[in-house]
Amino acid sequence: MYDNFQPLRDEWEKRHKSKVMYWTNWNYAPLITRTPINSIEDFKGKRIRGYGVATDVIEALGGTAVPMAAPEVYTALERGVLDGVYGFDFITAIAYNLHEIAPHFTDIGDGPHAPAATIMNIDYWNSLPENIQKLCNELVAEIYDGQYHTVYDNANREYVKRALAEGVKFNIWSDDLKKAAKEAVQPAQVNKWVDTVAKPAGIDGNGMQALIQTAIAKHAPQGKLLRPEEIALG
């Protein structure tokens, strides 16, 4: 996307004066709940901590999205103010000990929730000697060629061991249930972004989304990074 959609490059390089060194995705973020969620019907009426795109999913599936700062979530779960959490990546959730109160971790068929960019001031980047720039680009190539997968897979496996030892109950929705959930969320979520974010900013949202869909179709079948639930149940 960064290479092929100029408005995205302009936002970083011109507006933020940043050289994007490389992109990663946040780790998988399961639905984390106090009680099992085995259907969309189970989701309805639940108070789930969420923000951003997570809010769209929670509300589309019949839950109530509750915005809340991350440090407050554990206590809110403990007191019953929240029924669950959506948008915490798996490792963060375990590190925050959310599973002590909400032990049900469910794969509902979603993908990564957000990208993360590692950046450098673009003027500083341009001031670096060519050999240093070349070295940086070689390191980035290593990340994209497999190191990202290696780092995340190793970390996920270690945290899955801890999670299982500490009572986490992993669950994966059936393909039919995942399909029904996706249809409840999409394309309404993307259309909302196109109408309320892209258009007011003068961005061709439909054009950007077409590039995204092409990239997903090209790269998703090659994906190797297992979800925590797949590791636990496999």
Q: Where in 26-160 does DSSP place strands (E)? A: 31-33, 47-49, 64-66, 84-86, 104-107, 115-121
Residue 224 inside a domain? The answer is yes
CA atoms within 13 A on the CB side of 92: 16
How many structural domains compose the chain? 1
Looking at residue 167, which CATH number applies to its domain? Answer: 3.40.190.170
Q: 144-149 long-range CB contacts below 8 Å, 24 or more apart?
A: 144/22, 148/24, 149/224, 149/225
178-216 pLDDT, tens digit each: 999 999 999 999 999 999 999 999 999 999 999 999 999
- The domain of 25 spans 6-233
118-139 pLDDT, tens digit each: 999 999 999 999 999 999 999 9
Q: Which residue(s) pair with 48 in the sheet?
A: 65, 84
Residue 206 inside a domain? The answer is yes
Local confidence band at 52 (pLDDT 50, 70, 90 cut-offs)? confident
77-121 pLDDT, tens digit each: 999 999 999 988 999 999 999 999 999 999 999 987 788 899 999
Residue 165 inside a domain? The answer is yes
Alpha carbon separation from 46 to 22, 41, 129 (Å, rounded): 37, 10, 55
| Of the candidates 157, 156, 136, 154, the residue with the CA atom closest to the CA atom of residue 146 | 154
